[in-house]
């Protein structure tokens, strides 16, 4: 049997960061489509989002490992959503101190200090469900061959051109 190793924490964090960053860009593009009817589908984000999403989903991974046998999917997603709001508020508050917070929900009726908005509770709930069921579970399954079992193209010091 071929020996393999799982992804290290930094690789998993990177995958989670890329997933969150891409989802935010897609979400903002679709949001604009429904509000301006523009088919340009221009999505936007901030580099801060990369760190924010990577860390949030990485911590969700740890929560999944702890909560999986203790509660059902619905309750886990509720806990993840509460975590998401806590993390979004905390990071937004810190960024705002440095005038670097890229979001402002002040125009939403359910906003709290403009840093979070309750109107996003359902989308966050389902985003957390997708993060657990698709992103985290599959990322934890990813494996690489050990150095002794690398494919021939990677086992040489030079890559053939």
Residue 160 pLDDT: 45
Number of neighbours of residue 136 by Cβ within 10 angstroms: 25
Q: Please tell me the distance from the alpha carbon of residue 94 to that of residue 98, in angstroms, as a whole number.
A: 7
> In this model, does residue 150 exceed pLDDT 80?
no
Verdict on whether the full-model pTM lies above 0.75: yes
**Backbone φ, ψ for residue 38 (5° rounding):** -90, 125
For residue 161, name the pLDDT band (cuts at 50, 70, 90). very low
Please give the span between the terminal C-alpha atoms of the chain, in angstroms, as a whole number: 31
- Residue 77 region by backbone torsions, left for phi larger than 0, else alpha for psi between -120 and 50, else beta: alpha
8 Å CB contact between 63 and 142? no
* Ramachandran category for residue 114: left, alpha or beta (phi over 0 → left; psi -120 to 50 → alpha): left
Q: Residue 109 — pLDDT band, cuts 50, 70, 90? A: very high
Q: How many CB atoms lie within 10 A of CB 110?
A: 11
Is the pLDDT at 41 greater than 50, yes or no? yes
The pLDDT tens digits for 56-108 are: 999 999 999 999 999 999 999 999 999 999 999 999 999 999 999 999 999 99
CB of 117 closer than 8 Å to CB of 108: yes
Over range 132-160, report the average pLDDT.
76
The answer, yes or no, to whether residue 139 has pLDDT greater than 80, is yes
pLDDT, the chain, mean:
92
% of the chain residues with pLDDT over 70 = 89
What backbone torsions phi and psi does residue 69 show, to the nearest 5 degrees? -85, -10
12 CB neighbour count, 10 Å cutoff: 20
Torsion of CA 129, 135, 136, 139, to 10 degrees: 170
Percent of the chain whose predicted confidence (pLDDT) is above 90: 84
């Amino acid at each position: 049997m071929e020996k393999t190793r799982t992804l290290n924490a930094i690789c998993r964090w990177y995958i989670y960061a890329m997933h969150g960053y891409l989802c935010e860009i897609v979400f903002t593009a679709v949001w604009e489509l429904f509000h301006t009817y523009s088919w340009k589908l221009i999505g936007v984000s901030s580099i801060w989002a990369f760190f924010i999403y990577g860390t949030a989903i990485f911590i969700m991974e740890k929560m999944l490992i702890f909560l999986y046998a203790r509660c059902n999917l619905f309750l886990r997603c509720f806990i993840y959503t509460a975590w998401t709001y806590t993390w979004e508020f905390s990071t937004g508050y810190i960024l705002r101190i440095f005038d670097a917070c890229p979001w402002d929900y002040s125009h939403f009726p359910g906003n709290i200090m403009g840093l979070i908005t309750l109107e996003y509770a359902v989308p966050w709930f389902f985003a957390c469900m997708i993060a657990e069921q698709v992103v985290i579970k599959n990322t934890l399954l990813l494996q690489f061959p050990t150095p002794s079992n690398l494919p021939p193209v990677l086992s040489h010091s030079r890559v053939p051109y």
